[in-house]
Amino acid sequence: MKVLIISDIHGNLDALDAIREEADKVFCLGDIVNYGPYPKACLERVRDLTDGIVRGNHDNAIGGDVDCGCSIKYKELSDAGKIYTKGILNKDEKDYLANLPVTLHTKINGTRFLFSHGSPGGDMYKYLRPDVSHKELEDELRDISADIVFIGHTHFPMVRKINDIIVVNPGSVGQPRDGIPMASYAVWEDGSIGIKRVPYDIEATVKGLQETNIPSHHVTMLTEILREGGMELSGW
């Protein structure tokens, strides 16, 4: 049994389409939209592709017309992308995003899976970065019943084992920020977990951004993130 886990696509269809690995099941950890030029196509593709999706903070912002809860470093970019994305998606698509579950539990071949965007408990705004302490992860997992927990949000891949629970962040499909400008995702296969990276046509995505109504200085910033796998402004 092979399971693919994707997260943080952010409207980047070129990156999403670069993941061609076949699997028995596919799950998405949210943030399908915002920042990128193709929110509608990405939403359609993810809905067709996956067996389950949880709501990310950007999905929540677009669907519910609320603040993204982003760090101040990303607030400006998010707000610009939000205006563009809201103009592309129709009401049904926004409602779909707003009503996605915050967490998802399933069992596969006897293994208990938990999917969430930010924290295991369902806080979509919580950042659990690769350098998070063992103690903090222990606290986050205290009331969690799962063998493996998948979280996204940070755009940094991570695999940690906390007592009997494995915690995995697959990284970002559409906007990696760890200095590696390649689409990132996770694969669970018969009890083994790994992070995979695949190249994609970044310049096609940049061209798509240039054809949106996102302000040009924001497009420049987004382009740097895509080409460099993050930028100094981005930090975490």
pLDDT tens for each residue of 95-114: 999 999 999 999 999 999 99
Q: What percent of the chain is predicted at pLDDT more than 90?
A: 94
pTM for this entry: 0.96
What's the CATH number for 2-101+169-228? 3.60.21.10
Of the pLDDT bands very low, low, confident and very high (cuts 50, 70, 90), residue 231 is confident
Which is it for strands 165-169 and 158-162: parallel, antiparallel or unpaired? antiparallel
For 166-176, what is each residue's pLDDT tens digit? 999 999 999 99
For 9-48, what is each residue's pLDDT tens digit? 999 999 999 999 999 999 999 999 999 999 999 999 999 9
Q: What percent of the chain is predicted at pLDDT more than 70?
A: 98
Contact criterion met (CB below 8 Å) for 112 and 148 = yes
Beta-bridged to residue 12, according to DSSP, are none
Of the pLDDT bands very low, low, confident and very high (cuts 50, 70, 90), residue 233 is very low
The C-alpha atoms of residue 186 and residue 194 are separated, in whole angstroms, by 6
Of the pLDDT bands very low, low, confident and very high (cuts 50, 70, 90), residue 236 is very low
Of the pLDDT bands very low, low, confident and very high (cuts 50, 70, 90), residue 136 is very high
- Write down the domain spans for the chain: 2-101+169-228
Contact criterion met (CB below 8 Å) for 105 and 114 = yes
For 176-222, what is each residue's pLDDT tens digit? 999 999 999 999 999 999 999 999 999 999 999 999 999 999 999 99
Which residues lie closer than 8 Å to 125 by C-beta, 6 or more apart? 57, 69, 118, 153
